[in-house]
């Protein structure tokens, strides 16, 4: 009698479980733990941001220097005033000039480098950092603990000192500006914990928008995630990012924000990046979301010989070629030179004859 093996239960496929919980996504873009997103959130599509195409149009010289990654526009204007920039061999004293591809720009005696392709990083900003390159009050900034080998980065939008979560960085000022515009239509999503009891009237007031101290705030989509005795968690979404907007509208409704976490910015999710960690997004993802052009492969330079004629090179994967040098067995054959015999371990010529091994009998 044979013992039948008990079949192992198959693992459930990815997708909603019986309790309606979504499965975890794969990679660095996995959502953080919390209340699952609603089907309405899953179906949202985002408008692509068109990158500025490479053209022959003229631009202000400070903008061109900043795009090369040397400094900001403001610093570029200061460098020009200090006489550190030359245009076509002449020292500039005013930034009020436009340049094109035909102009030659030199900064501190070095030619202006070509701008690299647009890149985007995701950073998990912890609480207690200011989104600025430097702070007059000496507080920690988001740039203090970044790796030193990164290029000059610019934050996309801002998170205030006590906020945390997803903060995007880019090396392209034009991409930064377009991603920040409300006209882009990208939604910023937050998990917000407030002190107090959230009522339906609060949700309705947020959805209608409001004006506080002469400043109008656009409608905010909000939903209650969890209501405790003294605190409540909400998910809040908006398409513009005015200074301390969520904190001010909640305070206007009698709710005090004691924790604010940004979980997404447009199509980019915070995922499971550890606090203080930074991850660069794949260029294919950045290209698809921002409408960037495909990278043009750089061809290897052609080697030339005398008279400027290109040298013939072998194809990849071929073996060693005949160099015609002494000691090369391939070059010695047919050249009239003796072929050197192999040397044994004792230092004497190895006179043993090599025999071919008999073929193994194949199984029927």
User: Has residue 333 got a pLDDT over 60?
Assistant: no
Residue 140's nearest CA partner among 255, 276, 278 is: 276
| CA distance linking residue 320 with residue 200, whole number of Å | 79
Q: What is the pTM of this model?
A: 0.62
Would 4 be classed as within a structural domain?
Answer: no
Place of tokens 């909000």: 222
Using one digit for the tens of pLDDT, what is the confidence trace for 150-174? Answer: 988 989 999 999 999 999 999 888 8
Quick count: other Cβ atoms within 10 Å of Cβ 261? 21
| Statement to judge: residues 66 and 134 lie in one domain | no
Residue finishing a domain among 258, 290, 322: 290
Using one digit for the tens of pLDDT, what is the confidence trace for 219-267? Answer: 999 999 999 988 999 999 998 878 899 999 999 999 999 999 999 999 9
Would 179 be classed as within a structural domain?
Answer: yes
Report how far apart, in Å, the C-alpha atoms of 94 and of each of 34, 58, 79, 80, 277 are.
Answer: 54, 16, 10, 6, 41
| Statement to judge: residues 65 and 152 lie in one domain | no
| Statement to judge: residues 168 and 232 lie in one domain | yes
Residue finishing a domain among 68, 87, 111: 111
* CATH assignment at residue 99: 3.10.290.10
**Which pLDDT does position 357 carry in this prediction?**
53
Active-site residue list = 160
| Statement to judge: residues 86 and 164 lie in one domain | no
Provide the strand spans (E) within 187-328: 188-195, 210-212, 215-217, 221-227, 231-238, 256-265, 268-269, 278-280
Note down the domain range covering 95.
59-111
Number of domains in the chain: 2
Using one digit for the tens of pLDDT, what is the confidence trace for 294-322? Answer: 764 434 444 444 444 554 544 444 444 44
User: Has residue 110 got a pLDDT over 60?
Assistant: yes
1 burial class (0-12, 13-18, 19+ CB within 10 angstroms)? Answer: exposed
| Statement to judge: residues 126 and 274 lie in one domain | yes
| Statement to judge: residues 76 and 191 lie in one domain | no
**Which pLDDT does position 281 carry in this prediction?**
93
């Amino acid at each position: 009698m044979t013992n039948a093996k008990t079949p192992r239960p198959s693992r459930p496929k990815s997708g909603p479980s019986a309790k309606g919980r979504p499965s975890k996504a794969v990679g660095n873009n996995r959502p953080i733990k919390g209340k699952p997103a609603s089907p309405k959130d899953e179906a949202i599509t985002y408008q692509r941001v068109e990158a500025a195409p490479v053209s022959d149009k003229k631009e202000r010289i400070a903008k061109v220097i900043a795009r090369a990654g040397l400094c900001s526009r403001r610093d570029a204007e200061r460098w020009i005033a200090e006489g550190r920039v030359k245009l076509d061999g002449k020292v500039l004293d005013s930034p009020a000039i436009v340049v094109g591809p035909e102009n030659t720009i030199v900064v501190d005696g070095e030619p202006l480098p070509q701008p690299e392709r647009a890149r985007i990083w995701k950073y998990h900003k912890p609480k207690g950092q200011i989104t600025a390159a430097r702070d007059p009050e000496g507080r920690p900034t988001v740039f203090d603990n970044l790796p030193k080998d990164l290029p000059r980065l610019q934050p996309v939008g801002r998170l205030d000192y006590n906020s945390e979560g997803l903060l995007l960085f880019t090396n392209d000022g034009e991409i930064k500006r377009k991603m920040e515009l409300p006209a882009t239509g990208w939604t910023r999503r937050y998990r917000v914990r407030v002190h107090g009891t959230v009522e339906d009237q609060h949700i309705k007031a947020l959805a209608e928008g409001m004006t506080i101290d002469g400043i109008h705030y656009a409608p905010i989509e909000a939903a209650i995630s969890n209501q405790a005795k003294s605190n409540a968690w909400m998910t809040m979404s908006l398409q513009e990012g005015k200074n301390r907007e969520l904190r001010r509208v909640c305070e206007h409704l009698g709710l005090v924000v004691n924790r604010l976490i940004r979980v997404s910015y447009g199509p980019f999710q915070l995922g499971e990046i550890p606090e203080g960690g930074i991850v660069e997004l794949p260029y294919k993802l950045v290209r698809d979301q921002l409408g960037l052009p495909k990278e043009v492969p750089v061809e290897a330079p052609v080697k030339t010989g005398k008279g400027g004629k290109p040298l013939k090179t072998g194809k990849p994967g071929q073996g060693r070629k005949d160099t015609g040098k002494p000691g090369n067995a391939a070059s010695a054959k047919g050249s009239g030179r003796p072929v050197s015999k192999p040397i044994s371990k004792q230092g004497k010529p190895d006179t043993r004859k090599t025999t071919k091994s008999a073929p193994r009998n194949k199984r029927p």
